[in-house]
Amino acid sequence: MSSAADTWYDYRTVWAATPWLAVYFVVVVLVFLMAIFGTLVGGVFAILFVPSLAGAYVHHLMVMKRLGR
């Protein structure tokens, strides 16, 4: 089982080889932050919470595929 530090290292390794995945990660984080804002303030952005989690999961799967896991 890998630790959080190993996972972070794996992400950075894949991001260095595939820069568009790093951009995808930033977009997912921004959508997640907008969802939190929408949840706290109330509004349409609250609906972005589930898609941001799905985007994070898809990112993780793409990173793991490039690592061969």
Rounded mean pLDDT for each run of 10 residues along the chain, 69 residues in total:
77 93 96 93 88 95 91
**Domain boundaries of the chain, sorted by first residue:** 4-67
**The pLDDT value given to residue 44:** 87
**The pLDDT value given to residue 16:** 94
CB 4 within 8 A of CB 52: no
**The pLDDT value given to residue 12:** 92
The token pair that represents 24 in the structure block: 């995808």
Our measurement of the distance from residue 51's CA atom to the centroid of its chain's CA atoms, rounded to an integer in Å, reads: 11
